[in-house]
Structure 1
Amino acid sequence: MVVPDPGDMRFARLDRMADTLDARFRIPGLGWRFGWDSVLGLLPGMGDLVTIGPAIYVIYEGHRLGARKSTLARMGLNSGLDLLVGSVPIFGDIFDASFKSNKRNVALLKEDLTEQARDAARRSAHEMPHASGW
């Protein structure tokens, strides 16, 4: 388990990838953000298959960093839903632009690792012997 640190290159890389896939571009005046996941999703068949690779990488990194199985399962469900619904013409493209599964997955990962670190700190604080001084 690793505590999410903004200076940690692994988290910075995951954040950059999620931003590129889910929020790289902005529609002026509206402020709506979308990324390459949405753009590539416009390509029938191939677009969604191409973007599943980076999604799998985020889940793999989550495993390597010590995320709980329940978190990895939720990340997998997010990515699977993105792939499944995203493959539906027009509706799927709108869904892709709003669901932002990669950003969701990175947030889930950070939340899980932070919670695990807090739990570990609480456990170690309770296990430390108290100075009694007789």
Structure 2
Amino acid sequence: MKAKSANPNTVNKGHAAISQRLERLAWLLDSSIRLPGGYRVGLDGVIGLIPGIGDLIGAGLSSYIVVEAARLKVPLRVLARMGLNVLIEFVVGIVPIFGDIFDFAFKANLRNVRLLNAYLRNNA
């Protein structure tokens, strides 16, 4: 019998707490700042504007979600996909101007939390 959780996308209360924390982090990094016109960006994109080190800091913060997924024993195929999202955002983000625009649009952290929650929901 499955345990009830606060978040219907997760398996149990322990996973619900972790998922909720990671969802909040992903929102902060990818969608926490509302721009005129309703488009949302996050701290990851803003940090990425710092020349030289911004994208590295953003990749480090994004990697935390992948590390937490590994602690939850998510299979390698899901972890690899999550890691690829972070890598794509990092590599493209290095390109001046285009990379910054890409950082604001790609939202790797929200993608990774969706991948994690889908795995947890489907593998109870």
TM-score scaled to structure 1, two decimals?
0.80
Tell me the residue number matched to 1:33.
Answer: 40
After superposition, the C-alpha distances for 1:35-78 in whole angstroms (9 at most, x for unaligned) are: 01110111111111111122111111101112111000000000
Structure 1's unaligned 5+ residue stretches are: 118-134
Question: For structure 2, which runs of at least 5 residues remain unmatched after alignment?
Answer: 1-9
Distance of 1:21 and 1:58 partners within structure 2: 11
Counterpart CA distance in 2 for 1:111 and 1:8 is 13
Shift of 1:4: 6.3
> Please, what TM-score do these two structures have when normalized by structure 2?
0.86
Match of 1:68 in 2: 75
Q: Report the Cα distance in structure 1 between the residues aligned to 2:78 and 2:26, rounded to whole angstroms.
A: 17
Whether the 8 Å CA contact 1:71–1:108 is kept in 2: the answer is yes
Instruction: State the alpha-carbon separation in 2 of the partners of residues 60 and 12 from structure 1.
Output: 15
- The match for 1:113 among 77, 102, 120 is 120
Of the three residues 57, 73, 77, the one matched with 1:50 is 57
Distance, in Å, in 1 between the alignment partners of 2:73 and 2:114 is 15
Whichever residue aligns with residue 112 of structure 1, its letter is: Y
Kept in 2: contact 1:4–1:110 (CA 8 A): no
Shift of 1:8: 2.4
Task: Return the index of the structure with the highest Cα Rg.
Answer: 1
Pairwise CA RMSD of aligned residues?
Answer: 1.8
Q: Which runs of 4+ in 1 moved over 6 A?
A: none
Q: Which amino acid aligns with 2:123?
A: Q
CA distance, structure 2, for counterparts of residue 101 and residue 36 of structure 1: 12
Figure out how many residues of one structure are paired with residues of the other and give that number.
115
- Aligned-residue sequence identity (percent) comes to 47
Q: Does residue 91 of the first structure (1) align with residue 88 of the second (2)? A: no
Tell whether the 8 Å contact from 1:4 to 1:114 is kept in structure 2 after alignment: no
Q: Does 1:11 align with 2:19?
A: yes
